Structure 1
Amino acid sequence: MHQTLNAAPTSPVVSLKNVHKSFGPLKVLDGVSFEVDRGEVLVLIGRSGSGKSTALRCIDRFEKIDSGEIVVCDHRVSDPKLDLRALRQDVGIVFQSYNLFPHLTIEENITLAPCSVKGISKAQAKEQARQVLAQVGLEDKLHQYPEQLSGGQQQRAAIARSLAMQPKVMLFDEVTSALDPELTGEVLKVIEALAADGMTMVMVTHEMGFARGIANRVVFMHRGKVHETGPAAILTSPATPELAQFVGTGL
């Protein structure tokens, strides 16, 4: 009985098949394939320039791929006729830089997209803003401006802004790399809570300890390829010398 209830959503939420991407002569993604199931946390790791952030940006069509196929929440991302607005409603992305509008309050930053993209009422959007800010521990910052918040608070507000769109998948691109350790901890706690709630997530991070604790699966990228993949345990017992060297350096 349980099987029939869950029969529909068994296909992966995110699927990359043989994805290639170059910037001019530089090959950044060289036949990358991986899948993410519903409720799974997939962590992408690798040296700078290994292609992990580019792979993440291709999932949300911030970058167009040269060949291969990407399907996210049943949207064929590689299709030239893709409805970008529909894709962005299903996929939230949080970058290293918070990208909050400085001239808008935190509430206004969060209500902007739900009102303009989803067409929900101002009152409903405000209530939603309150809820998502409570979720990231910032309910009291509703009427403040980004410059009045610490870096960690701004990053949590950026996460709340993505959550307000009620996405099916969240993408995180090195969201703690600009923060000091204390602020990093507060942002990672929010992400842990989302994982506990069953949010499907793809994360690029250099925080190996965090990756070990949160990842259902780890994808180690090396020179534009998926070099090694497996459960978080591969971080403590890597199968390839490249991953052993990477985790050994603590990068």
Structure 2
Amino acid sequence: MSVVVAKNIRKSFGGLQVLKGVSLTVEGGEVVALIGGSGSGKSTFLRCLNGLESVDSGEIEVAGHRMSRKPAELRRLRRDVGIVFQSYNLFPHLTAGENIMLAPVQVKGIGKDAARSEAKRCLSLVGLGDRFEAYPDMLSGGQQQRVAIARSLAMQPKVLLFDEVTSALDPELTGEVLAVIEKLARDGMTMILVTHEMGFARRVANRTIFMRDGIIHEEGPSAEFFSSPKTPELRAFLHAEVG
């Protein structure tokens, strides 16, 4: 069953056209990696799927929600579509557990005891079951990013979006975060990842998409995509990334 359906998405900022007719369908349980150079439109496209950016034209349906600018409908969509950014955006005055509890209590109206139990479960899922009472400044960057992932998981989303979540981390901490995402993939979470980690995309994503100049330039099953790129532009991009 298709969980994400985007049709002919166009988006401009002023006179700059960033998305020039992007269409994508993602099935339940599928992991899709978006790769491409800076300015190719991949992060803007991801933000459109969550309603953080409005589209100029086209249609989007995610987790059964048709994209709308009506606040109530946007809130319903965001309950089912989590997004994790490269910056962790944790509240420094709240513990890891309190950061995770916040949205289930305030957005979903869940009682604090149930939210606390769910926060502990989600922290355990990302390997931080013993850090419920830790404040963000007591955690490494990799740990903070894992708390951010746990915060999204606590909303029990149907789709998770990741926007370059390891780009601010050193290699060791990057490995911690990628291991969590890989486990989510094994558990069947539907995910779309904007990433520059080519080896990870090849290993974990069912499908990889190369965006260039605001369009999907090439896509395919990840193993084939990386081993036999069809266009010179993708070959050049992969060579630059690996080399």
- Retained in 1: the 8 A contact 2:93–2:135? yes
Question: Hey, what does 1:34 align to over in structure 2?
Answer: 24
Alignment-mate amino acid for residue 214 of structure 2: G
- Retained in 1: the 8 A contact 2:29–2:191? yes
After superposition, residues 50-129 of structure 1 pair within 5 angstroms as 50-77=40-67, 79-81=68-70, 83-129=73-119
Alignment-mate amino acid for residue 222 of structure 1: R
- In the TM superposition, residue 245 of structure 1 has moved relative to its aligned partner by 0.5
Give the 3-state SS of the residue equivalent to 2:100 in structure 1.
helix
Question: Hey, what does 1:22 align to over in structure 2?
Answer: 12
Q: Which runs of 5+ in 1 are unaligned?
A: 1-9
Question: Hey, what does 1:246 align to over in structure 2?
Answer: 237
Alignment-mate amino acid for residue 201 of structure 1: M
Paired with 2:59 and 2:36, the residues of 1 have a C-alpha distance of 22
After superposition, residues 70-219 of structure 1 pair within 5 angstroms as 70-77=60-67, 79-81=68-70, 83-219=73-209
Give the root-mean-square deviation of aligned CA atoms: 0.9
Paired with 1:28 and 1:136, the residues of 2 have a C-alpha distance of 34
1:66-112 Cα distance to aligned partner (Å, 9 max, x none): 001111011111x3336111101100100000010011111110000
- Retained in 1: the 8 A contact 2:104–2:115? yes
- Retained in 1: the 8 A contact 2:28–2:190? yes
2:226 equivalent among 235, 239, 251: 235
Paired with 1:243 and 1:33, the residues of 2 have a C-alpha distance of 19
Paired with 2:83 and 2:69, the residues of 1 have a C-alpha distance of 21
1:145-185 Cα distance to aligned partner (Å, 9 max, x none): 00100000000000000000000000000000000000000
- Retained in 1: the 8 A contact 2:42–2:194? yes
Q: Identity of paired residues, percent?
A: 65
Paired with 1:73 and 1:206, the residues of 2 have a C-alpha distance of 26
- In the TM superposition, residue 18 of structure 1 has moved relative to its aligned partner by 0.4
Alignment-mate amino acid for residue 164 of structure 2: E
Paired with 2:82 and 2:70, the residues of 1 have a C-alpha distance of 20
Give the 3-state SS of the residue equivalent to 1:93 in structure 2.
strand
1:128-160 Cα distance to aligned partner (Å, 9 max, x none): 011000000001110010010000000000000
Residues matched between the structures, number? 240
Alignment-mate amino acid for residue 192 of structure 2: V
* Segments of 4+ moved more than 6 angstroms: none
